[in-house]
């Protein structure tokens, strides 16, 4: 499918640059040039190789609080990201509130830039951002808000989570970005730097992510490929991601040995001799194992795969290598492993390929330990920051005056306000555990209806137009009606003429037929 | 029989395409009108025998489809077809219905377009025409998983209630090791096309000579008149001299004489047709009516053979409503027997699909119920202290 790629912040624009490079390398056009790079500092623009200057948009360069360095990227190492190569004071200095403020101020600029993207030519838009950065998180939030309001197409976020050795501020920023992006975006695809960068450079992380994004979204986009039997259409991907939440990608490949007598074959072909189709190097078992490896592989964002909501599988390789049995048992295995039945699977035949790859999209995973860790760090950082007036300039809230400046007092006040819903977090935990399906994955529900977020920061934020809580609650509520698409209707039982259709006890449980049920008002039915 | 054929969705379209291929290769003239309908533009490019102007894209203006399929969701498939019903009706206008005896709608029931749009198309056809409408539906295999099973179980109800007869094809029965994805679907579609065309083309005056025991279109239609779900069996024997390796390989009865085929052999062929893979495995005795068509050179088919085969099937199917006749194909190098078992009521695979569907439906409902809550829980810290940015 076609994607408009919108990079935000240092990490985001670098990753989009990498994606563009991968598009060209693999000859898989997914963006068709619908690309933009937004940043609050020009530092990283200089190192971009695949994004035209006309597509680079500098935001907030006139804002008094945005720091612009005199000279750009003189000593910065190109293959390192963010905190390592860029002066931390640059741009919005990691402050997402400032990022958001700056983006709002420059909204006309952003809108003008968006004119260069043709949203009717693409199947979805994807914001690519490092969630730990002030620009990625802050500008990203405002951009997301804008895109969701102007585009009919789905808007996804490819968000990179900071690793453990990055600052607490970045963890805090990322946790808030997740809180902001997930309810607004149609889906957030997560990338965990922690899982990926330890043994590999950031550049390698970007490459790995690009490979996965291209394999997934680029399936069937390459020119000249044979027609697939079960093509994954853009709507298959969109439907898989439609449930929202956080998603992750798994990927595995099997190298095929290049036939040693390949040239001989070709030569024989030239002289009109018979060329024989090379023997398949894989079988049902290899293909099944490949699918299994993909889902067991290091996911872009590690998670408990049993918490996944929907799944999409793409098997790509030379048609002769794609065993039907392997494909089907692989798909069936995914159902067993994930516990969901919403699995779409397709093939991408590529006669010239030297590998067979399996790419698995796990949509709406809710068991993500990494996000919990970030949230814990973020809360600790925020609590700290609140007690240190020098860092938190926004604390002088007009509401909770009595608790200002004192950590304990603050926490008490928070708990006090939530007391009507839950006396303490443990109580909430236990009551939720008894609730349903989720508890085994270590989930804690926070009752969103009754527990209002503390507004220590946003309360005094001048650039936020609306109360933040209402905003997010609204957007998630608005999605709920769509989820009832499978509402059972019950007027079918009387209309079954064949015994086969009604001899099963199970039958009455199956919902109404698609047509001729309550949905049609046609009297002839 | 003269047929108007309509393929809905990817599987249905490919099936129709294979029917046209088989028809052309064997000099039959069954499909007088052809139409394929799909929600995915790319899939409409696949057929090789369906003329370009007989391929209809629906839902290209629909917000959820946009010409890129319906994401395997039968609900969306039905919705898209309903929205574009005028478009569909307009293409039917070209079909001169008095030229055809019946309409055949082919669809894969596991996918979104076939399962959802198929029944909507049939509804519309029923309103427009008096001719019988038959369904040809491919049921998903167990390994295709819960969602296709749910689509199929629901769509099967729609199909069976709306069509005059529903010929079922079970993907699982035709799976074999060693196939690639591509071959797998090709082979199945070819097998099914061979059966359906051989059966329905019988009794058609398409240059073939009228045999003395000739099967007539009206016989076939009468057999199909029962409604319900039907299964087709098929067996063929190679009539070429068994001197080549190839024919030895193909023909199971190597010692078969070339110039005559006695009653026992004819009966044996029918027995093989019934006992080999049926399009949907079923209890033969649960059939309501049955019909046998022999297609091949008329010299090969003796009246005595036909009668003994008919009697055998009468016993097997436990019904007196068994018709048998031939469809002379003088140039044919094979003799084929097709057995139609109409309204079979004991087909275990259907029950399996229904059970799988109920499980799937429950799982989907469970996920739906907690989805919002779980997402909120994931993105919110324990005490909800972290605020969104905007």
Say yes or no to pLDDT of A65 above 90: no
pLDDT at A508 over 90: no
Same domain, B234 and B307: yes
Instruction: Please check whether residue B347 lies inside any domain of the structure.
Output: no
Question: Which of A468, A495, A507 minimises the CB distance to B161?
Answer: A495
Residue A8 within a domain? yes
CATH number at B282 reads 3.30.1330.20
Give Cβ neighbours of residue B226 (< 8 Å, ≥ 6 apart): B165, B288, B289, B342, B343
Number of domains in chain B: 2
| Same-domain check for residues B141 and B239 | no
pLDDT of residue A225: 87
Residues of A in contact with B386 (CB under 8 A): 172, 175-176, 179, 375, 378-379, 382, 453
Of B63, B385, B390, the CB nearest to A152: B63
- Between the alpha carbon of residue B187 and those of residues A443, B18, B192, the distances in Å are 48, 10, 9
User: Is the model's pLDDT at A357 over the cut of 50?
Assistant: yes
Q: Are residues B193 and B243 in the same domain?
A: no
Question: Which of A41-50, A382-391, A487-496, B168-177 is the least confident region?
Answer: A487-496
| Residue with more model confidence, A422 or B121 | B121
Digit-coded pLDDT (tens) for B274-299? 998 899 999 999 999 999 999 998 88
Least confident of A83-87, A319-323, B8-12: A83-87
Distance of residue B182 Cα from the nearest chain A Cα, in angstroms = 6
- What pLDDT, on the 0 to 100 scale, is given for residue B257? 42
Residue B213 pLDDT class (50, 70, 90 cuts): confident
Domain end among A193, A218, A243: A218
Test B361 with A511 for CB contact under 8 angstroms.
yes
Do the domain assignments include residue A56? yes
How many residues are given for chain A?
Answer: 525
Is the pLDDT assigned to residue B22 strictly greater than 80?
yes
Q: Are B15 and B147 contained in the same domain?
A: yes
- Give the closest of B145, B154, B357 to A331, CB-based: B145
What CA–CA distance (Å, rounded) separates B317 from B289? 8
B282 Cα to chain A: minimum distance (Å): 11
Are B233 and B193 contained in the same domain? no
- The Cα of B366 is separated from the nearest Cα of chain A by a number of Å equal to 8
For residue B65, what pLDDT band results from cuts at 50, 70 and 90? confident
Same domain, B272 and B133: no
Name, in order, each residue with C-beta under 8 angstroms of A120's C-beta and a sequence gap of 6 or more: none
CB contact under 8 A, B123 and A522: yes
Q: Do A340 and B185 touch (CB under 8 A)?
A: no
Kindly list the residues from chain B whose CB atom is less than 8 angstroms away from the CB atom of residue A495.
161
| Separation between Cα atoms, residue B336 and residue A183, nearest integer Å | 62
Distance of CA A232 to the CA centre of its chain: 19
Residues of A in Cβ contact (< 8 Å) with B382: 375, 379, 425, 428, 444, 446
State how far the Cα of A35 lies from the Cα of A3, in Å rounded to an integer. Answer: 9
| Distance (Å) from the alpha carbon of A49 to chain B's nearest alpha carbon | 31
B255 vs A480: CA distance, rounded Å: 69
Q: Which of A97, A364, A428 sits opposite B375 (nearest CB)?
A: A364
Q: Tell me: do B261 and B154 sit in the same domain.
A: no
Partner-chain residue, chosen from B64, B183, B388, that has the shortest CB–CB distance to A472? B388
- Give the pLDDT band (50/70/90) at residue A387: confident
Query: DSSP letter at A347?
Result: E
Q: How far is B223 from chain A (nearest CA, A)?
A: 15
Tell me the average pLDDT across A14-41. Answer: 95
What domain range includes position A145? Answer: 3-218
Residue A487: both structure tokens together: 């509402």
In this prediction, residues B315-342 reach a mean pLDDT of 93
The reply to whether B234 and B146 lie within a common domain is no
- The answer to whether B203 and B31 have CB atoms below 8 angstroms apart is no
Task: Select, from the ranges A486-490, B252-256, B288-292, the one with the highest average predicted confidence (pLDDT).
Answer: B288-292
The pLDDT score that the predictor gives to residue A405 is 43
Q: Which residues of A touch B155 (CB under 8 A)?
A: 513-514
Residue A138 within any structural domain of the chain? yes
Contacts of A162 (CB under 8 A, 6+ apart): A130, A131, A132, A170, A171, A173, A174, A193, A194, A374
| C-alpha dihedral sign at B62, B66, B67, B73 | negative
- Mind telling me how many Å the CA of A262 is from chain B's nearest CA? 22
- Indicate which of A171, A174, A419, A498 best probes the interface with B, i.e. most B CBs within 10 Å of its own CB: A498
Strand B102-108 with B3-8, pairing: parallel
User: Are B100 and B241 members of one domain?
Assistant: no
Model confidence at B226, pLDDT cuts 50, 70, 90, reads very high
Query: Which residue of A341, A378, A484 is the best one to mutate when testing the B interface, meaning the one whose CB has the most B CBs within 10 A?
Result: A341
pLDDT at A14 exceeding the cut of 70: yes
Q: How far apart are CA A241 and CA A244, in angstroms?
A: 6
- Banded model confidence at residue B175, pLDDT cuts 50, 70, 90: confident
Domain assignment of residue A18, yes or no? yes
Q: What is the pLDDT of residue A267?
A: 61
* Residue A69 pLDDT grade (very low, low, confident, very high; cuts 50, 70, 90): low
| Least confident span in A244-258, A411-425, B189-203, B315-329 | A411-425
- Which pLDDT does position A346 carry in this prediction? 94
Q: What is the CATH number of the domain that holds B64?
A: 3.40.50.1440
Within a domain: residue B135?
yes
Residue whose token pair is 């992750």: A248
Distance from CA of B269 to the nearest CA of A (A): 28
pLDDT in tens, A430-469: 444 344 443 344 443 343 333 333 333 333 333 334 444 4
Residues B261 and B155 in one domain: no
Alpha-carbon distance of B245 to A274, in angstroms, equals 20
CATH code (residue A88)? 3.40.50.1440
pLDDT digits (tens, 9 = 90+) for A200-224: 577 889 999 999 999 999 998 888 8
The pLDDT, as a whole number, for residue B71 is 92
**How confident is the model over B136-156, as a mean pLDDT?**
96
Q: Is B193 part of a structural domain of the chain?
A: yes
User: Looking at residues A99-120, what average pLDDT do you find?
Assistant: 95
Q: In A, which residues are within 8 Å of B89 by CB distance?
A: none
Region B307-329 average pLDDT: 94
- Tell me whether residue B365 is in a domain: no
* B234 CB neighbour count, 10 Å cutoff: 25
Q: Are residues B248 and B172 in the same domain?
A: no
Shared domain check, B161 and B69: yes
- Regarding predicted confidence, which is higher, A93 or A38? A38
Residue B371 lies inside a defined structural domain of this protein: no
Instruction: From chain B, pick out residues whose CB is under 8 angstroms from the CB of A366.
Output: 374-375, 377-378
pLDDT band per the 50, 70, 90 thresholds, residue A479: very low
Nearest CA in chain B to A497: B161
Express each pLDDT in A151-170 by its tens digit: 999 999 999 999 999 999 99
Beta strands in A119-210 (DSSP E): 124-130, 155-161, 187-192
**Mean local confidence (pLDDT), A408-425:** 43
Average pLDDT over residues B81-96: 87
ipTM of the complex: 0.88
The parent domain of residue B112 ranges over 3-200
Shortest Cα–Cα distance, B356 to chain A (Å)? 10
Arithmetic mean of pLDDT over chain A: 77
> What is the rounded distance in angstroms from the CA atom of residue A205 to the CA atom of residue A200?
7
Among A200, A218, A236, where does a domain finish? A218
The more confidently predicted of residues A258 and A48 is: A48
Q: Which residue of B has its CA nearest to A220?
A: B42
Q: Are B126 and B165 in contact (CB under 8 A)?
A: no
A324 and B179 within 8 Å at the Cβ level: the answer is yes
Non-local (6+) Cβ contacts of B52 within 8 A are none
Residues B326, B332, B333, B335, Cα dihedral to 10°:
-10
Name the residue with higher pLDDT: A356 or B174: A356
Three-state SS string across chain B, please?
CCEEEEEEHHHHHHHHHHHHHHHHHCCCCCEEEEEEEECECHHHHCCCCCCHHHEEECCCCCCCCCCECCCCCHHHHHHHHHHCHHHHHHHHCCCCHHHCCEEEEEEECCCHHHHHHHHHHHHHHHHHCCCCEEEEEEECCHHHCHHHHHHHHHHHHHHHHHCCEEEEEEHHHHCCCCCEHHHHHHHHHHHHHHHHHHHHCCCCCCCCCCCCCECCHHHHHHHHCCCCEEEEEEEEEECCCCCCHHHHHHCCCCCCCCCCCCHHHHHHHHHHHHHCCCCCCCCHHHCCEEEEEEEECHHHCCHHHHHHHHHHHHHHHCCCCEEEEEEECCCCCEEEEEEEEECCCCCHHHHHHHHHHHHHHHHHHHHHHHHHHHHHHHHCCCCCCCCCCC
For the packed helices A140-150 and A96-105, what is the interaxial angle rounded to 10 degrees?
Answer: 50
For the ranges A41-50, A476-485, B212-221, the one whose mean pLDDT is highest: A41-50
Look at A328 and B175 and tell me if their CB atoms are within 8 Å: yes
Mean pLDDT across the stretch B28-41?
93
Within a domain: A88: yes
State the pLDDT confidence band at A491, using cuts at 50, 70 and 90: very low
Give yes or no for a contact between A341 and B360, defined as CB atoms under 8 angstroms apart.
yes
The residue among B210 and B95 whose pLDDT is bigger is: B95
Comparing A277-281, B270-274, B295-299, the range with the smallest average pLDDT is A277-281
Return the pLDDT at B223: 97
User: Is residue B206 a part of any domain in this protein?
Assistant: no
Q: How many domains does chain A have?
A: 2
B282 belongs to a structural domain? yes
| pLDDT-derived band at A270, boundaries 50, 70, 90 | low
Q: Report if residue A281 sits inside a domain.
A: no
Mean pLDDT of chain B: 90
Q: Is residue B115 in some structural domain?
A: yes
Q: What is the pLDDT of residue B157?
A: 97
* In-domain check, residue A498: no
Residue A73, pLDDT above cutoff 50: no
């Amino acid at each position: 499918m076609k994607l408009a790629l919108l990079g935000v912040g240092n990490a985001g624009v670098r990753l989009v640059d990498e994606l563009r490079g991968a598009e060209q390398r693999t000859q898989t056009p997914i963006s068709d040039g619908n690309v933009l790079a937004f940043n609050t500092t020009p530092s990283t623009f200089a190192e971009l190789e695949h994004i035209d200057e006309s597509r680079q948009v500098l935001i907030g360069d006139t804002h008094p609080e945005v720091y612009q360095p005199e000279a750009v990227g003189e000593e910065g190492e190109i293959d390192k990201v963010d905190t390592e190569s860029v002066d931390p004071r640059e741009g919005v200095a990691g402050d997402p509130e400032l990022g958001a403020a700056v983006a709002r101020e420059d909204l006309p600029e952003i809108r003008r830039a968006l004119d260069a993207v043709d949203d009717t030519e693409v199947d979805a838009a994807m914001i690519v951002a490092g969630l730990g950065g002030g620009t990625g998180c802050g500008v990203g939030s405002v951009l997301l808000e804008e895109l969701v309001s102007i585009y009919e197409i789905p808007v996804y976020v490819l968000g990179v989570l900071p690793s453990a050795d990055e600052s607490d501020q970045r963890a805090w920023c990322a946790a808030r970005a997740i809180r902001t992006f997930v309810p607004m975006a149609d889906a957030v695809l997560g990338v965990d730097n922690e899982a990926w960068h330890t043994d590999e450079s950031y550049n390698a992380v970007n490459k790995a992510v690009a490979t996965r994004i291209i394999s997934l979204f680029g399936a069937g986009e390459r020119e000249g490929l044979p027609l697939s039997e079960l093509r994954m259409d853009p709507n298959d991907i969109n439907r898989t991601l439609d449930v929202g939440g956080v998603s992750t990608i798994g990927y595995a490949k099997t190298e095929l040995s290049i036939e040693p007598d390949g040239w001989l074959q070709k030569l024989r072909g030239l002289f009109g001799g018979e060329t024989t189709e090379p023997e398949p190097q894989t079988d049902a078992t290899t293909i099944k194992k490949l699918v299994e490896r993909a889902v067991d592989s290091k996911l872009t964002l590690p998670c408990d795969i049993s918490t996944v909501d929907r799944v999409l599988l793409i098997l790509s390789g030379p048609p002769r290598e794609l065993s039907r049995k392997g494909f089907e048992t692989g798909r069936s295995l995914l159902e067993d492993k994930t516990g969901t039945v919403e699995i779409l699977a397709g093939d991408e035949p590529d006669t010239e390929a030297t590998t067979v790859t399996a790419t698995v999209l796990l949509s709406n995973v809710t068991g993500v330990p990494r996000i919990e860790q970030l949230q814990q760090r973020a809360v600790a950082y925020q609590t700290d920051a609140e007690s240190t007036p020098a860092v938190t300039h926004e604390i002088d809230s007009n509401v909770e005056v009595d608790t200002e400046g004192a950590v304990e007092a603050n926490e008490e006040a928070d708990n006090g306000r939530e007391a009507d819903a839950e006396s303490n977090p443990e109580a909430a935990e236990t009551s939720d555990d008894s609730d349903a399906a989720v508890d085994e994955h270590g989930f804690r529900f926070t009752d969103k209806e009754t527990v209002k977020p503390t507004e220590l920061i946003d309360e005094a934020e001048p650039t936020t137009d609306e109360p933040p809580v209402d905003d997010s609650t609204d957007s998630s509520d608005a999605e709920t009606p769509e989820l009832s698409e499978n509402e059972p209707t019950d007027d079918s039982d009387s209309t079954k003429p064949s015994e086969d259709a009604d001899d099963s006890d199970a039958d009455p449980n199956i919902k109404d037929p698609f047509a001729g049920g309550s949905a049609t008002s046609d009297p002839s039915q | 029989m003269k047929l108007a054929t309509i393929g809905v969705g990817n599987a249905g379209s490919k099936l129709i395409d294979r029917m046209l291929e088989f028809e052309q290769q064997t000099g039959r003239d069954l499909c007088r009108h052809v139409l394929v309908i799909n929600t995915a533009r790319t899939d409409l490019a696949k057929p090789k025998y369906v003329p370009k102007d007989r391929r209809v894209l629906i839902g290209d203006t629909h917000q959820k489809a946009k010409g890129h399929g319906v994401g395997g969701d039968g609900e969306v498939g039905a919705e898209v077809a309903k929205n574009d019903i005028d478009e569909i009706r307009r293409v039917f206008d070209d079909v001169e219905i008095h030229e055809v005896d019946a309409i055949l709608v082919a669809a894969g029931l596991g996918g979104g377009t076939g399962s959802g749009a198929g029944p909507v198309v049939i509804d519309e056809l029923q309103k427009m025409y008096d001719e019988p409408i038959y369904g040809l539906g491919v049921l998903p295999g167990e390994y295709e998983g819960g969602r296709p099973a749910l689509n199929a179980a629901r769509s099967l109800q729609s199909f069976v209630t709306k069509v005059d007869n529903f010929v079922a094809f079970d993907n699982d029965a035709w799976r074999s090791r060693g196939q690639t994805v591509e071959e797998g679907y090709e082979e199945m579609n070819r097998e099914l096309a061979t059966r359906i065309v051989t059966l329905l083309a019988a009794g058609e005056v398409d240059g073939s000579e009228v045999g003395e025991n000739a099967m007539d279109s009206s016989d076939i239609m009468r057999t199909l008149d029962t409604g319900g779900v039907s299964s087709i069996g098929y067996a063929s024997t190679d009539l070429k001299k068994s001197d080549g390796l190839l024919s030895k390989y193909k023909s199971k009865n190597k010692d078969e004489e070339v110039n005559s085929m006695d009653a026992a052999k004819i009966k044996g062929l029918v027995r093989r047709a019934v006992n080999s893979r049926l399009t949907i495995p079923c209890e033969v005795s649960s059939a309501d009516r049955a019909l046998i068509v022999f297609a091949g050179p008329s010299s090969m088919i003796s009246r005595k053979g036909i009668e003994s085969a008919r009697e055998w099937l009468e016993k097997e199917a436990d019904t007196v409503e068994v018709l048998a006749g031939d469809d002379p194909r003088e140039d044919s190098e094979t003799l084929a027997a097709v057995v139609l078992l109409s309204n079979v009521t004991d087909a275990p695979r259907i029950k399996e699909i229904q059970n799988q569907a109920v499980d799937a439906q429950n799982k989907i409902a469970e996920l739906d119920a907690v989805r919002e809550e779980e997402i909120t829980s994931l993105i919110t810290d324990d005490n909800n202290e972290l605020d969104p940015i905007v």
